[in-house]
A and B are shown apart, each in its own frame.
Chain A
Amino acid sequence: MRIRALRLAETGCFRDAVAIEGLSGGLDVLAGANELGKSTLLRALEALLFESYKTDKTTLKTTLQPYRGGAPMIEADIETAGSVWRLRKRFFQGKAAELRRTGSNELLRGSDAEQRLAELLAGAAGGHARLLWVGQQEGLSPVTPGESEAATIRSLLAREVAAVTSGRLAEVVRGAVATELAKLATPSNGRPKTGGPWKQALEESAALEASTAEARRALADAEGRLERLASARARRQDLADPFVRSRHTQETAAAVQALEAAREAGEKARIAEADWSRLEAARKTTADALARHTASTLERDRLAGEARAAADQIQRAAATLAQAARTAELGAATLAELQAGEQTARVRLERARRRSEIERAQRERTELAGRLTEIRALVAAAGSARAELASFTIDDRLMRRIETEGRSIATLEARLAAASTRVEIALDPAGAGRLTIDGSIVADGAELLATGPMTISIAGIGRIRLEPGTSGEIDELAGDLAAHRSTHRDLLERSGVSDEAGANELLAVRREVESGLMRTESRLAALAPEGESAIAARIAALDALASAAAPQEDQSIAELATHAAGIELERRAGERTAAAAAAALNDAQLQVRELEAGGRERERRIAELAAIAPGRDLADRLASALTAAEAAANEARRSLEAWRERLPSPEAAAALARRLDQAKASEARFAHDLNATEGEIGKLEATLERDKESDLASRLSELEGRLERARRRLARHEQAAAELMLIRDMFEAVRGDSRASTLAPVMAALEPYLHLVLPQARLDLDARFAAGGLDRQGLQEPIERLSGGTREQIAVLVRLGLARLFAQKGMPAPLILDDALVYSDDERIERAFEALRLAARHHQVIVFTCRTRTFAALGGTRLQLGPWSP
């Protein structure tokens, strides 16, 4: 299809009807300034070709409705398949369509015209022509055909590429596969879908597996119970065997009998032992009685002999006692004498000590009296010294003030001298006495300070008046000096001296007095540390002690003490002698008393023994009774030993007890086993009854059947899912392969232009022929990241490729560019022009541009907008 002319009336911005005539059908260029109406021309052509004349689209009205009112009328001459058609449509008001074939009478109107136009366009690959329009700014967007346009291209290519179309049946089947698979599985991972039949079969199968296993266990348990019941019954039969039972009873009875025999022997032995014990006691009693009788007789004889010996002893003890009494009496007398002598010695010693004490008091009193006299003299001296000190007019503090003032005066005088005029007088010998200052004669060598006006008179010579200059310092110093001198004088006067030397002398005297006072007080402290009154009190006390009369004693204390000590030693020896004599006397008295008491005891004992063993016939009787008792006891012992021999040993007795215990335990165990077996049988029978009512075998069989069915269902679902996924994957694979096949001719058509504009680059197109990115020497660049110029060029290139493809298929359609390539640089736009020129050899290329100079290089047929008279 090629556009040969375009005419507009009452359309958009055009006030008057305009026309573009003489399009070459190759490269046609309309260059003009902005607002020339290029876009209106394109929109009008687009509406003419692709919109029904009946349309009321608002967007179309906005674009095409004339500014000054009216109804757009658009007309174009279209060449296709060797014929030229004039198509005219009026929109919005007076709507009309007309299609006339030039050179013939073929004229169609209204819907017929639209129908015919659709056929003509369909012959040109349907709506593919729309793909080849690049409006203002659209070049910046990647080519993104809609699904219908993509389908159009695919259908165009289907004639050469086998199976590139899915076909309606395939789409339905594909959808059915997806639907079936979605029921079973999650398509993304192929796993059973929750809630789906596959998942349900899986869960049911797992649940039935568990239930069947449980039922199988239950049945096995039930059969196990049957086995256990059989064995329990066999055991019960064994246990219930009368022979076995009687064997246990007999064993117990035998054990009881053996133990009873042992117990009887024990009892008999106990009785025999009691008899023997009793008879043995009787024998012993008799034997004891006979022994006592014999012993009493012997004792009585022995006591009689002792009584005789004791009588002799008493006699000798009485003599000893008398001798001891005498010795004791003598010792007591000697002791009394010694005690009296000791007393006398002690009195004399005390008297001597008294006398010595009085003498010592007298000596002390004399010494204290002398000390008191000295003390009192010292006290008086101290009082005098204190009185003298009180009379002194100077002390250390006053002396320090005098000295201070003296130093101040000296300082001030020195400063005054330094500040004053010093006058030194040197007289000739003849001048002596002739020189006076302020009336006073001045001696040779005198030095004066002229602190004020001074008149120096030299007799016979004249007077010299000195007037020192006025000086505040000198006056101040002089004032201070006078003040200090006054204070100094006052202090000397208070001290009673005329100068500092006198004051120092007087202070030295004072210090001498103070020193004497200190020595006096020190002596007083040494003589009477507790004071004078204490000395006086002590003297008074000693006077009272010394006033007593001193006892008369001619011997010294030492002599008297020695004498007293000797007497004391004798007295103590006498005391020991007397004590020994008294002890000997006491012993003798005790011995006598003991002998007398022993005699009395023997007499009593003899009397007792005489009562016990009055005569010899009793001894005979006792001997005979003893013989009889011994015989009876021996008999009892033999009986006891006989029973003891029949008594089992402790080990044998324990064995018998054990035997009985074992027999009883065995019997009890037997009974218990029987009882337990009965219980077990009862329980097993009861459980088996329940087993039967539970119909375990049937349940297992039923579960096994259900499980088998469930497994079959599961297998069917698994199989179905696997098959559906395989089919789905196959569809995907086929579609992928088909896509590659479909794109190949498009890429081939695009390649010459791509090589011209973007050498070394490869363009990626997706299944809908949309440009996804650029591959330049292995570097992948998404379309969004490319520069505006490159994107614009790609948009043009893709359309050039498609347009060339359409042309190759015998259905050429014009490529229309409205102010495209506005972002391209000079070099790139030159290449793009080359591509457009190349494309124009195969199909019409219509370029609208406002860049007149730049596009002058494009060449082609320059179009002009001219008037039209519809």
Chain B
Amino acid sequence: MAFTLLHTADWQIGKQFGSFDAEVQGVLRDARLGAIDRLAMAAEAAGARHVLVAGDVYEAETLPAKTVRQPLEKMRAHPSLSWHLLPGNHDPHRPGGLWEHLASSTLPANVDLMLAPDPIEIETGIFVLPAPLRSKSTGSDPTAWMDRAETPSGALRIGLAHGSVRNFGHEGEAATPIAEDRALTARLDYLALGDWHGARQAGPRAWYSGTPEPDRFLDNDAGMALIVRLAGHGEAPAIERVSTARFSWHRLAVALDAGEPVAALDEALATLPAASDRMLLELRLSGAATPAGHGAIARRLAELEPRLRALDHDLDRVSIATGSGSLDWAESTGELRLVAERLQSMVAGRGSEAGKAGRALARLAALAAGAEQSRQGEP
């Protein structure tokens, strides 16, 4: 009994991206909604008729009706697929909550809400054992009932749950523990999990699919969905990762070289895909640069920023190099030189004001460079 499904989770529709400016926020929100189309295409391409969404379909329980309905309409647009939605810790199924509201409304025919911990036969001989969350934090394993769930002999048993698999190595977002061997104890052919935003195996026959559209600067293989192929009950599942991300989020740590800080930066950037408006970059800068180097990096970052969807950096954390020649930008004599030397001395002294002095030195260099440019521009 071969069966193929697409496993996804953590759509978190309605999620805001407040740390970005309004334009980026809107684009990222649209990208999350658009991921449904990309998931549908991936499923159809893989020959899957069912999409299992392992929780956190929505960002919150109190969303406007329009926000709630938008993904349903997306799913309705793909009638060849059945969408099985599970409440997660972001959107638990509580009395009066959005799931109850949805259940009492007219849903697209291809949308199925997994709101009760009962086996559901989605196709002949194919049973989904859902573990819907009824609160943000349960403390108990919502998949425990699966061990006792009866299904016909030979039927495929597919678990669908949202939580943190014990000993998985992360706490996840949901304070909901899931036994690491649940797939075995419940005789599951596959346990589709949600909560961890990257695609990763969590145990025997148990996988997190991750979110289909990345939403943070974490190197956790986000932006994926899993094509799961089940040859028959008791057979090992075949897992295929498919990319569904529109935007790539990158966090890059760069240790700057005081001598050639820009080169160090460029070298690090070269490890990333080409900059584009589908890339969001967070630069974690460290090391030291001369005040002039600071200015050069700042200019480099200023050039880079418009080529990206978003750029975040912490150039302020880069300390000031105090070696010989580091004050070449300042005049050889005079007050400017003396001021620069005194600031550099504070930096070298590593006292409590060293950081401020370093930044002040960089700022002084930038002002001097600006003044020099103005002077050169004078007739």
B1-55 CB contacts (< 8 Å) to partner A: 14-21, 25
Closest to B29 in A: A698
| Nearest CB of B to A213, in Å | 15
Query: Is there a chain A Cβ closer than 8 Å to B72's Cβ?
Result: no
In Å, the complex CA distance between A685 and B21 comes to: 34
Contact of A727 among B21, B98, B360, B375 (CB under 8 A): B360
Q: Which of A169, A234, A705 sits near B16, CB closer than 8 Å?
A: A705
Q: Does B343 contact A (CB under 8 A)?
A: yes
B96/A229 in contact, CB under 8 A: yes
- Contact of A675 with B by CB under 8 A: no
Cβ contacts under 8 Å, B342 to chain A:
730, 733-734
In this complex, which of A173, A219, A724, A738 has the most chain B Cβ atoms within 10 angstroms of its Cβ? Answer: A173
* Inter-chain contact B335/A734, CB cutoff 8 Å: yes
**Which A residues touch B65, using CB under 8 A?**
692-693
Residues of B within 8 A of A681 (CB): 96
**B residues near A543, Cβ cutoff 8 Å:** none
The interface residues of chain A lying within 8 Å CB-to-CB of B19 are 704-705, 708-709
Give chain A nearest CB distance to B56 CB in angstroms: 13
Interface residue? B61 (CB, 8 A): yes
In the complex, which residues of chain A have a beta carbon less than 8 angstroms from the beta carbon of B136? 223
Q: Are B16 and A701 in contact (CB under 8 A)?
A: yes
Interface size class of A (residues with CB under 8 A): 35 or more
Q: Is A424 an interface residue (CB 8 A)?
A: no
Contact A701 B15 (CB under 8 A): yes
B336 at the interface (CB under 8 A from A): yes
CB of B339 within 8 Å of the partner chain: yes
> Is the CB–CB distance between B367 and A176 below 8 Å?
yes
Please tell me if the beta carbons of B331 and A169 are within 8 angstroms of each other in the complex: yes
Check A166/B334 contact, CB under 8 A, given A719-B316, A723-B360, A727-B343: yes
Q: Counting CB contacts under 8 A, is A336 at the interface?
A: no
How many angstroms between the C-alpha atoms of A92 and B363 in the bound complex? 56
Given contacts A233-B95, A688-B96, A695-B67, contact A173 B337 (CB under 8 A): no
Contacts of B21 in A (CB 8 A): 709
Decide if the interface of chain A is mainly helix, strand, loop or mixed. Answer: helix
Max count, chain B CB within 10 A of own CB: residue among A162, A170, A722: A170
Are B356 and A698 closer than 8 Å at their CB atoms? no
- Which residues of chain B come closer than 8 Å to A201, judged between CB atoms? none
Contact B334 A730 (CB under 8 A): no
Q: Which of A693-748 contact B (CB under 8 A)?
A: 693-698, 701-709, 719-720, 722-724, 726-727, 730-731, 733-735, 737-738
- B376 CB to closest chain A CB, in angstroms? 11
Question: A714 → chain B, closest Cβ, in Å?
Answer: 14
Residues of A within 8 A of B61 (CB): 222-223, 226, 697
- Say yes or no for A177: interface residue by CB 8 A criterion: yes
Instruction: Return chain B residues, CB-CB under 8 Å to A229.
Output: 94-96
B155: shortest Cβ distance to chain A, in Å?
A: 33
Asked if B339 and A697 sit within 8 Å, CB to CB, the answer is no
Is B333 interfacial (CB 8 A cutoff)?
A: yes
Q: Chain A: which residue is nearest B363 at the CB level?
A: A723
B139 close to chain A: CB less than 8 A: no
In the complex, what residues of A have CB within 8 A of residue B356's CB?
A: 719, 722-723, 726
Q: Report B301 CB to chain A, min CB distance, Å.
A: 14
Residue of A nearest to B314 (CB): A712
B348 interface contact, C-beta 8 A: no
Partner of B335, one of A170, A227, A696, A724: A170
Q: Is the CB of A703 within 8 A of B94?
A: no
Contact check, B95 vs A727: say whether CB atoms are below 8 A apart: no
**Would A692 and B94 count as touching, CB distance under 8 A?**
no
Would A704 and B363 be within 8 Å (CB), given that A172-B371, A734-B339 are in contact?
no
Q: Is A644 an interface residue (CB 8 A)?
A: no
* Interface membership of A553, Cβ < 8 A: no
Complex interface: chain A residues within 8 A of B68 (CB): 692
CA distance A230 to B133 in the complex (A): 14
Most buried by B among A180, A226, A706, A735: A226
Contact assessment for A692 and B337 in the assembled complex, using a CB-CB cutoff below 8 Å: no
- By a CB distance below 8 angstroms, the chain A residues around B331 are 167, 169-170
Contacts of B95 in A (CB 8 A): 226, 229-230, 233-234
A460 to chain B, nearest CB (A): 171
B183 → chain A closest CB, angstroms: 30
Residue B59 is within 8 A (CB to CB) of chain A in the complex: yes
The CA of A735 and the CA of B357, in the complex, are separated in Å by 19
Alpha-carbon gap, A425 to B97, bound state (A)? 176
Residue contact B334 to A165, C-beta cutoff 8 Å = yes
Contacts of B14 in A (CB 8 A): 695, 697-698
Which residues of A lie under 8 Å from residue B60 when comparing CB positions? Answer: 219, 696-698
> Is B154 an interface residue when CB atoms closer than 8 A count as contact?
no
Q: Check: A587 CB closer than 8 A to any chain B CB.
A: no
Indicate whether B325 reaches chain A with its CB closer than 8 angstroms.
no
Decide: B364 and A173 in contact? CB cutoff 8 A: yes
Q: B63 to chain A: which residues have CB within 8 Å? A: 692, 695, 697-698
Which chain A positions have C-beta within 8 A of B363? 720, 723-724, 727
The answer for the CA separation of A165 and B337 in the assembled complex, in Å, is 11
Closest B residue to A698 by CB, please name it: B16
Task: Decide: B62 and A163 in contact? CB cutoff 8 A.
Answer: no
A731 x B335 contact (CB < 8 A):
yes
Question: Which residues of chain B are near A696, meaning CB under 8 Å?
Answer: 60, 62
Interface string of A208-229 (1 = CB under 8 A from B): 0000000000010011001101
User: CB distance B360 to A173 under 8 Å?
Assistant: no
B374 at the interface (CB under 8 A from A): yes
Q: Does B157 contact A (CB under 8 A)?
A: no
Q: Are B18 and A708 in contact (CB under 8 A)?
A: yes
A697 B359 Cβ-Cβ under 8 A: no
Q: When the two chains form the complex, which single residue of A166, A169, A693, A730 contacts B64, counting CB atoms closer than 8 Å?
A: A693
In the assembled complex, the Cα of A705 lies from the Cα of B29 at a distance in Å of: 14
Q: Is the CB of B335 within 8 A of A222?
A: no
Q: Which residues of A sit under 8 angstroms from B339, Cβ to Cβ? A: 170, 727, 730-731, 734
Contact A167 B18 (CB under 8 A): no
Which residues in window 320-379 of B have CB below 8 A to A? 331, 333-339, 342-343, 353, 356-357, 359-360, 363-364, 367-368, 370-372, 374-375
Roughly how many angstroms separate A544 CA and B21 CA in the complex, as a whole number? Answer: 155
Chain B residues near A219 (CB-CB < 8 A): 60, 62
Contact A702 B371 (CB under 8 A): no
Cβ-neighbour of B18 out of A169, A692, A702, A727 (below 8 A): A702
Whether the pair A706, B18 counts as a contact (CB closer than 8 A) is yes
Instruction: A166 to B67: give the CA distance in the assembly, Å.
Output: 63
Interface centre among A227, A696, A698, A737 (most CB of B within 10 A): A698
Contact call A163/B335, Cβ cutoff below 8 A = yes
B379–chain A nearest beta-carbon distance, Å: 16
Closest chain-B Cβ to A323's Cβ sits at a distance in Å of 124
Contact A695-B62, Cβ < 8 Å, known A169-B371, A726-B356: yes
Neighbouring B residues of A709 by C-beta, 8 Å: 18-19, 21
> Contacts of A166 on B, CB cut-off 8 Å?
334-336
| Chain A residues with CB under 8 A of B367 | 173, 176-177, 180
Task: Give B99-116 as 1s and 0s: 1 = Cβ < 8 Å from A's Cβ atoms.
Answer: 000000000000000000
Partner of B338, one of A163, A230, A723: A163
Please measure, in the bound complex, the distance between the C-alpha atom of A180 and the C-alpha atom of B343, giving whole angstroms.
Answer: 18
Which of B336, B372, B374 has the most chain A CB within a 10 Å cutoff?
B336
Give the one of A230, A692, A696, A738 with max B CB within 10 A. Answer: A692
- Which listed residue (A692, A698, A722, A738) contacts B59, Cβ 8 A? A698
Bound CA span A170–B60, Å: 57
Complexed CA–CA distance, A229 and B363 (Å): 57
User: Which 5 pairs show the lowest CB-CB distances between chains A and B?
Assistant: A705-B18, A697-B60, A701-B16, A167-B334, A170-B336
Interface residues of B (CB under 8 A from A): 14-21, 25, 59-65, 67-68, 94-98, 136, 316, 331, 333-339, 342-343, 353, 356-357, 359-360, 363-364, 367-368, 370-372, 374-375
6 sample A-B contacts, Cβ–Cβ < 8 Å, listed by A number: A170-B339, A223-B61, A226-B95, A233-B96, A692-B98, A702-B18
Further pairs besides A691-B62, A731-B339, A738-B338: 6, Cβ < 8 Å: A174-B335, A180-B367, A698-B63, A705-B25, A723-B363, A734-B335
